[in-house]
Each structure stands twice: as structure tokens, then as C-alpha cells.
A and B are shown apart, each in its own frame.
Chain A
Amino acid sequence: MALIVNHLTRTYTGPANSVITAVDDLSVEIAGGEIVGLIGPNGAGKTTTLRSIAGILLPSSGRIAVDGHDIVTDAIAAKRRLAFMPDEPHLFEYLTVLEHLRLVARLYAVEDFDRRARTLIAELELTGKERSLPGELSRGMRQKVVIACGLVRDATTLLFDEPLTGLDPVGIHRMRETIVARGRAGACVLVSSHLLHLVEEICTRVVIMDRGRKIADGTVAELASRADLAGAGSSLERIFLRVTGHDTAGSRP
């Protein structure tokens, strides 16, 4: 398995020393070539899960391994294989688009950088913006730069957090193609999104979270055939509403 999340729990200290459990005993295994959609209502723990896998947050308990490398005890080897593309584009204000890519290439020891950079810039429609600073780019463009930084290296595990935020229709179409292409090329892809139609369209499997816990895991067809979801229909939206207890339409007589 390319990515193994084993009994991951992440807690925070809340007001009055209360313990808030953002992710509660989550276990997921994703193989190379799989594109898994991570969905759930706001506050379900999706972003915390992705940030824990990316090594940004330390797990309170549990284990995360990327290609067999533990994200805590063997962090550098694990991070070399990971690419995390957050929903908020964090870019350095005074580095150009190309310099961002070069920076990443240096950190991840990317070979054949020039060719890869050219290809990616064309693929993500950033041509002509190579020497632009982030302040000169739209939000969608900045999001593309973040994604380009994630794709410029050969990561085996790709983590996308709301990858379509701020993109125009053409950008959305291109991004869908890009994600699918990476999955077909053998990468393990985990996509967190509220856009259920996107998840349904590109993902080979879906993990549904609610209040920190995994409440469903499988292909859309598998979920539709689950006994407790009978009658929800075959659309991911209906399944999602049913499994999270918000399917008011389905509960009507």
C-alpha cells in the first residue's frame, strides 16, 4: 500500500481545557493508482487528516506510513514521496512562479527540472506567468502554482485539499484531467472536496467522514448497495446525505 493511515487520532485542547477530537481512530489504506475522495460535512476532520498525513500536524496517536516510511519517525523519507496541495495557496510574496518551482525542485532533488517545469506550466496554463510574483496573480492562478509545485516532482502520494477552489471552468476541467492522469500513472491520490459530482466522477473510492470518524468507505456502487443505505439511490449526494443523517427527502414517507 502506498499510504497507510492506521488508527489516526488527532485532538486539540479547546476552551476550559476540553479535549476536541478532530480525527477519531481513522484507518484508511490506499494503493498506488487509486483516487480516493475524502468527503464530509464542515468540521468532519478532512483537512486535519490531510495535514496529519502531510506531516504538518503530529498525530495524537496512531500511525501514518507513506510507502512504508513513517511520517513521524522517518519524516524526511516520507515527505519526499508526498505532495500536499492545500486549499489556501501559501506562496512566498517575492518569489516568481518559476522560482517557486525551482525552489521545490531543489528541496526534492528533482532531475530534468527545465523540461518538467515547461511541461507543467503549459499543462496548468501558466505560460507567460513564469516571471510573475504571486501578488500579480489571481487566486485561481496562485492555486495553480501551488498545484504545479506539488506536481513538479515524482510524488507517489498526492493530497489535494479542495483542488478546484478559485479555478475557472477551463481550469476545473484541466485539473480533473490532471488528477486522473496522475492516478492512472500509478500515484496514490487522496482528494478532499465538497464538490460531490467531482468526487463521483474522478474517484475510484470514497471515504466519508463525520465528526472525526470514518462512517463509510468504498466505491459509490458498494456504498449504494449497503443495507443501511438502501433506498438512498446511486448518487453520491444522496448517499452522503443519508449516511450523515441529513437526508430529509429520503426519510419522508
Chain B
Amino acid sequence: MLHASLYIAGCSAKNRVAVRLRRLREPRYFVGALLAASYFFFIFVVPRGGRRRLPAGARFPSAPLERFGVALGGVGLLLLSTAAWILPSRSHLFSFTDAEEAFLFPAPVTRRQLLLHRLIRSQLGLVFAAMVPVLLVAAPGTVASVVDRLLLGIGLWVVLVATRVYFAGVTMARDHLGSSDRRVQGVAWAPLLVMLAALAVVAAAIARAVPIPVALVPATLAQITEATTVGWSSLALWPFRTLLGPFFARGAVPYLVALSGSVLVLLATVVWVIESDRVFQGVSGGAATPLATRPQSRVTAPPRLRWSGWSLPLAGRTETVFLWKNAMETLRGTSAKSLIPIAILILYAVLGARFGMSIGLAPAVCFAALMMAGFTTMIGPGSVMGDLRGDLRHLELLKTWPVKASAVLRGELLWPGILISACAWLALTCAVVLSGAAFPRVPFVWRFSLYVVAIVLVPALVFAQYVIHQAAAVLFPAWVPTDNEMRGFESAAQRLILFGGVVLALVVIVGPGAIAGGIVAFAFLRLTGSPLVFVPAALVCLAVVAIEIVLATEALGAAYDRIDLSGVERGESSRSRR
């Protein structure tokens, strides 16, 4: 079976690469790839200000960094691992494609072999995901040796595999938390309880060590490090620290020792998942896998009918048809659990406002809300594909509709743009409510002005990015993934290329608006001196970007009409993902 898995993974990767290389014969793809490659070369490979070699011995992290890094990284991983139990998303590591179901399920192989097959198939993508950052992104102005980067890449790869397998195990266990079988229930609940216990131990240790109100950042980091490297909390964090060990090892031998520990944690995670699955399925692991107990491919809950009261009016603009359709897909396809982090943030902001910021964590939550707003604005449009990218698989149907192409493009970006903007607004509002605690020396009028400016600029940035993604979908359909699943290492490369393109295009689109807004702000600031002048400046910027968006969708309409369906990526489908 191992041979078959490697054969499938190898042949699929080879053929995918061949197809994508062949696509470069098309001038537009060739030019796009050339531009993207140049972008990455000049941004990452050729550092600004010339290259310099690191002095001997400086390639390893310093002792304080190693100490802080391991401890804080361990705490971070523990938090993420616990959060995985409440995150609404599911792991697709063990989701089998239709082809795998057709060829492998009837084959005389064990369930364990099937799970390992999926693990093997995901490796090329993970290796690429681990190697690209460490090969491309070096310390600014330095050239770390290729060997150093490879060693870091290997460490990162082990971490990625371990987290992926762990998340698959969590997904599997979550599905069985309500089982009536006591043994199954025990196996499902045990890791969650262990994780909660570890979190409680570490949180208690940190709470004892870090006084409130929080002091300066370096002192707090030192206190957290101190608290988590001794006693029970050290034990609770051991697997997480061990996993991160290779990043902070100083020297070849310590690196190998750390890597061995990291691999050990990975193997333990794999064994946990496979053994849990054996219990959950109630099979001995020796028999061929019957379809009735196939691993997780179609056990995801079917979509539920929600928001049925919001009906599509029978008359109106074409754009609103797409707004409604995409809204239905999001609202019906999103679990209420996904709103938990947002609800917590709102609750905290409300409490902060009600009790006058006397809650010790107000500044931290304010910073977190600001980060969330920035992250949502800049990363959200790339991740939330409720626009034409998500509809590329329906393109055959869309193209039969008697509607203007530009209206389709505008309609497709309306809902996701509104959604992402609303999320960012929410986070900004929470941040401004708590900003008094985080920025006590900044006058209210400045905080409020900047808040309004951000509220105005968020939709400009979000919709501009969606236009760029629509343009990419129309002009380079073969490079646009139709979902968030990574299908291979070359897919990751394509995403990197697209990311570079989006950043460049965003600068081009927002540039004129920023210049116009800047002129307005400069003129009014000289007259009034009030920070409120940034508000009209932001409105001018928004207006310019809005005009550009309308013009861009009109221009892209012709390209939409000519879009070649054969270019749309259609990998091995999995019914569970449809």
C-alpha cells in the first residue's frame, strides 16, 4: 500500500506540474509568472541594502531568544491546540476524494493503511509550505546558508505535519463526543480533558507569576517564561516545547536531539489518531475497509436550511441576485460556533465600556481587536472566497444567464465585501471602546477621528482586493483555487504568486485615492489643525477607489465573456467538500 500511495502522490504531482508548466505557453500566464517571479526575487532573494554574511556562530538564536521563544511558542501552541476543539472548521486530512474511494476502498487494504495513505498524499504540499518561507524569507539583509535554511525547513515541516494530524484527530474526536458508547466517549473526551487540564495548569502558573496591571512587555515575557519552565506547567508544555525545539537549537548536535524529540511528538500524535480511529470505528484494523465505515469522507453534517425568511425579490438589479445567493451560501454554510470568538470580543468590549476599563486585560484586548481588524481587512478577501472564485465551479451555469458580465462581477463581490467590512468594523468598534485603556495619552478626538477614518477606509481596501481577486479569476482562472484546500505543492506556489500580484495591484488601485485623500488632509490640516480633517480625506479616498472599482468591473466584463472554462482548475473532487 505504501508503494501505491507513493505512486499516486508522485504521479499526480508530476502530472499537475506538467499541466501547469504547459500552461505557461500561453503568453498571459507566462508574463504573469515572470512578473511574479521577479517580484519575489527582488523582494525576498535580493535584500535591500546589499547582502552580508552572518558572522560565524551568529546563525543560531541567542540564549535569551531561545529561552523566550521555546516557552512562548509552547504556550502559543497549547492555546491553538485547545482552540482547535472549538474552532468551527474541520480537518480534511482524512477526506477521501471520489477517485480514492473508487479505487482504494474496494482494494484489500486496512483502514490504517488508508489513513496513512492520506497522510502521505498531503506531504508534498506540507514540505513546500515549510520550505518556501525559510528559503525565501531570511533575516533582513543577511544570507543564511542553504543548509541552515533547510534545517529550519525540516523543523517547520515536522511542526506542520504534527499540527495537521492533531487537527484531524480533534475533528474525529469532536464527532464522537456525544457517542452513546462509553469506550468511544472516553477516547473522544480524554484528549480534550488533558488539553483543558494542561491549559489550566499553565494559565494558573502564568496568573501567579504575572501581576495585574501588566508591566512592561520584556518583564512580562520574562515572567511568563519563568512560570512556564518549572514545575507542572513545564510538564504540561513539554510536547509543545519539544515540537518547537529544532527552531531554537544552537549547534548541529542539539539540533538533531531536538529534531528527534519533535519527530517523537509527531509519531505520538499519529499513533493517537490511528488508535482513536480504530476505537471510533469499532474495527480491529485488520479487515478491508467497508464503505459503511469509511474514514470521514461523507460524515460531515449536511447543509441545513437557515435564513429561509430572506427571499429573493422577483425584480431588481442583477447585482442583488448575486448578493442574495452568496449571502445564502455563507449564512447557511456557516456554523454558529464560528461566531464564538466574535461574541467573546463583543462581550469584553461591552463589559469594558460598562465598567470603565477597570478590567486588567483591556489594553491587550484592544490590541487584539486592532490586529483582528487589520488581519480581517488585509487577509480576509484572500481567504473568504464567496465571490467569483467560489463560483468558478458554477461558471458553466453562470455563463448561460442573460446578464451583463460587469453586473455579475459587481454582484459577486458585494456580499463578501460587505461581510468582511462588517467584521473589521466590529473589531474596530471593540478596539475604540477599549482604546482609552490601551492609549491613555492619546486624546479622545484623535482616537475617534482615526476610528472613523478606519471605518471609511476598510471597505475601500476590502472591495479593492476583491476586484483584484475577481480580475485574477477572470484573467488567470487556472491559477485561482476554487476552495481553500491546498491540492499540491505547486498550488502553494500559485497562491504565493497570486498573493504578490494582489499586493502590487492593491498599491496601484489604492494609490490614486490615497494621493487625493492626502492632498485633502494636508490642505484642511493646515487650516484647522484638527484630526477630524482625516475623515473627509478618507471619504475622498473611498470615492476614488469606488470609481476605480466600477470602472474595473466594466473593463473586466469583456474578459469574463471570453473566459475559458477549460482553464478552471478541477482536481479530484470530494463529495464531502461540495
A residues with a Cβ closer than 8 A to B are: 12-13, 15, 17, 51, 54-58, 75-80, 82, 84, 86, 90, 92-96, 99, 102-103, 105-110, 113, 131, 133, 135-136
With both beta carbons as reference points, the residue of chain A lying nearest to B563 in the complex is identified as A58
| Shortest beta-carbon distance from A158 to chain B in Å | 12
| Shortest beta-carbon distance from A224 to chain B in Å | 36
With both beta carbons as reference points, the residue of chain B lying nearest to A149 in the complex is identified as B397
B139 at the interface (CB under 8 A from A): no
B328 at the interface (CB under 8 A from A): yes
- Cα–Cα distance between A134 and B328 once the two chains are bound (Å): 14
A79 with B400: CB separation less than 8 A: yes
A108 with B325: CB separation less than 8 A: no
Within 8 A of A (CB), among B389-440: 393-394, 396-397, 399-404
With both beta carbons as reference points, the residue of chain B lying nearest to A110 in the complex is identified as B314
Q: Give the residues in chain B near A78, CB-CB below 8 Å.
A: 402
B484 at the interface (CB under 8 A from A): no
Q: Select one of A17, A51, A93, A107 contacting B303, CB under 8 A.
A: A93
A135 with B302: CB separation less than 8 A: yes
- Selected interface stretch from B209-217, B242-250, B305-313: B305-313
B332 with A94: CB separation less than 8 A: yes
B402 with A77: CB separation less than 8 A: yes
B561 at the interface (CB under 8 A from A): yes
A131 with B308: CB separation less than 8 A: yes
- Cα–Cα distance between A145 and B331 once the two chains are bound (Å): 22
- Cα–Cα distance between A48 and B393 once the two chains are bound (Å): 18
Q: Give the residues in chain A near B403, CB-CB below 8 Å.
A: 76, 107
Interface of B: prevailing SS: loop
Within 8 A of A (CB), among B280-332: 302-305, 308, 311-316, 318, 321, 325, 328-329, 331-332
- Cα–Cα distance between A17 and B22 once the two chains are bound (Å): 9
- Cα–Cα distance between A12 and B305 once the two chains are bound (Å): 41
Q: Give the residues in chain B near A79, CB-CB below 8 Å.
A: 400-402
B400 with A82: CB separation less than 8 A: yes
| Shortest beta-carbon distance from B327 to chain A in Å | 10
- Cα–Cα distance between A106 and B404 once the two chains are bound (Å): 14
Q: Give the residues in chain A near B397, CB-CB below 8 Å.
A: 86, 90
A102 with B311: CB separation less than 8 A: yes
Extra inter-chain contacts (11) besides given A79-B402, A102-B312, CB under 8 Å: A76-B403, A77-B402, A80-B402, A90-B394, A90-B396, A95-B325, A106-B314, A106-B316, A107-B402, A109-B315, A135-B302
- Cα–Cα distance between A79 and B403 once the two chains are bound (Å): 9
Q: Digit string of B326-347 for contact with A (CB within 8 Å is 1, else 0)?
A: 0011011100000000000000
B303 with A94: CB separation less than 8 A: yes
Q: Of residues A77, A78, A113, A135, which shows the largest number of chain B Cβ atoms within 10 Å of its Cβ?
A: A135
- Cα–Cα distance between A80 and B308 once the two chains are bound (Å): 28
- Cα–Cα distance between A32 and B328 once the two chains are bound (Å): 38
| Shortest beta-carbon distance from A175 to chain B in Å | 20
Contact A12 to B566, CB < 8 A, known contacts A103-B321, A109-B315: yes
Can you sample 26 A-B contacts with CB below 8 Å?
A: A54-B399, A55-B399, A55-B400, A56-B396, A76-B403, A79-B401, A79-B402, A82-B400, A90-B393, A90-B394, A90-B397, A93-B303, A93-B329, A94-B328, A94-B333, A95-B325, A95-B329, A106-B312, A106-B314, A106-B315, A106-B321, A107-B402, A113-B314, A131-B305, A133-B303, A133-B305
- Cα–Cα distance between A55 and B401 once the two chains are bound (Å): 9
A107 with B321: CB separation less than 8 A: yes
Q: Select one of B304, B399, B401 contacting A107, CB under 8 A.
A: B401
Q: Give the residues in chain A near B400, CB-CB below 8 Å.
A: 54-56, 79, 82, 84
B25 at the interface (CB under 8 A from A): yes
With both beta carbons as reference points, the residue of chain B lying nearest to A111 in the complex is identified as B314
With both beta carbons as reference points, the residue of chain B lying nearest to A114 in the complex is identified as B314
Q: Select one of B311, B333, B396, B399 contacting A93, CB under 8 A.
A: B333
Q: Digit string of B539-578 for contact with A (CB within 8 Å is 1, else 0)?
A: 0000000000000000000000110011000000000001
Q: Give the residues in chain B near A113, CB-CB below 8 Å.
A: 314
- Cα–Cα distance between A17 and B24 once the two chains are bound (Å): 11
- Cα–Cα distance between A58 and B405 once the two chains are bound (Å): 15
Q: Could you count the A-B residue pairs with CB atoms below 8 Å apart for me: how many are there?
A: 90
B404 with A76: CB separation less than 8 A: yes
User: How many residues of chain B get a CB closer than 8 Å to chain A's CBs?
Assistant: 36
- Cα–Cα distance between A82 and B321 once the two chains are bound (Å): 20
Q: Give the residues in chain A near B313, CB-CB below 8 Å.
A: 106
Q: Give the residues in chain B near A80, CB-CB below 8 Å.
A: 402
B396 with A51: CB separation less than 8 A: yes
- Cα–Cα distance between A12 and B26 once the two chains are bound (Å): 13
- Cα–Cα distance between A195 and B480 once the two chains are bound (Å): 37
Q: Give the residues in chain A near B316, CB-CB below 8 Å.
A: 106
B396 with A17: CB separation less than 8 A: no
- Cα–Cα distance between A102 and B324 once the two chains are bound (Å): 12
A102 with B578: CB separation less than 8 A: no
Q: Give the residues in chain B near A110, CB-CB below 8 Å.
A: 314
- Cα–Cα distance between A131 and B309 once the two chains are bound (Å): 12
Q: Give the residues in chain A near B303, CB-CB below 8 Å.
A: 93-94, 133, 135
| Shortest beta-carbon distance from A139 to chain B in Å | 11
With both beta carbons as reference points, the residue of chain B lying nearest to A108 in the complex is identified as B402
B399 with A103: CB separation less than 8 A: no
Q: Give the residues in chain A near B331, CB-CB below 8 Å.
A: 94
- Cα–Cα distance between A90 and B395 once the two chains are bound (Å): 9
| Shortest beta-carbon distance from A170 to chain B in Å | 26
A86 with B396: CB separation less than 8 A: yes
**Which 9 residue pairs of A and B lie closest in terms of their CB atoms, listed nearest first?**
A79-B402, A94-B332, A80-B402, A94-B329, A76-B402, A90-B397, A56-B399, A135-B302, A84-B400
Q: Of residues B311, B315, B396, which shows the largest number of chain A Cβ atoms within 10 Å of its Cβ?
A: B396
| Shortest beta-carbon distance from A116 to chain B in Å | 12
| Shortest beta-carbon distance from A86 to chain B in Å | 7
- Cα–Cα distance between A107 and B319 once the two chains are bound (Å): 11
- Cα–Cα distance between A239 and B396 once the two chains are bound (Å): 33
- Cα–Cα distance between A107 and B498 once the two chains are bound (Å): 32
A15 with B312: CB separation less than 8 A: no
Q: Select one of A86, A96, A135 contacting B308, CB under 8 A.
A: A96
- Cα–Cα distance between A15 and B394 once the two chains are bound (Å): 26
Q: Give the residues in chain B near A84, CB-CB below 8 Å.
A: 400
Q: Give the residues in chain B near A106, CB-CB below 8 Å.
A: 312-316, 321
- Cα–Cα distance between A57 and B564 once the two chains are bound (Å): 7
| Shortest beta-carbon distance from B90 to chain A in Å | 15
- Cα–Cα distance between A187 and B397 once the two chains are bound (Å): 21
Q: Give the residues in chain A near B562, CB-CB below 8 Å.
A: 58
With both beta carbons as reference points, the residue of chain B lying nearest to A135 in the complex is identified as B302
B565 with A105: CB separation less than 8 A: no
- Cα–Cα distance between A102 and B401 once the two chains are bound (Å): 14
Q: Of residues B313, B401, B561, which shows the largest number of chain A Cβ atoms within 10 Å of its Cβ?
A: B401
With both beta carbons as reference points, the residue of chain B lying nearest to A14 in the complex is identified as B22
- Cα–Cα distance between A113 and B304 once the two chains are bound (Å): 25
- Cα–Cα distance between A54 and B315 once the two chains are bound (Å): 24
Q: Give the residues in chain B near A54, CB-CB below 8 Å.
A: 399-400
Q: Give the residues in chain A near B399, CB-CB below 8 Å.
A: 54-56
- Cα–Cα distance between A55 and B397 once the two chains are bound (Å): 10
| Shortest beta-carbon distance from A184 to chain B in Å | 24
Q: Give the residues in chain B near A93, CB-CB below 8 Å.
A: 303, 329, 333, 578
With both beta carbons as reference points, the residue of chain B lying nearest to A131 in the complex is identified as B305
- Cα–Cα distance between A79 and B308 once the two chains are bound (Å): 29
- Cα–Cα distance between A96 and B315 once the two chains are bound (Å): 19
| Shortest beta-carbon distance from A161 to chain B in Å | 11
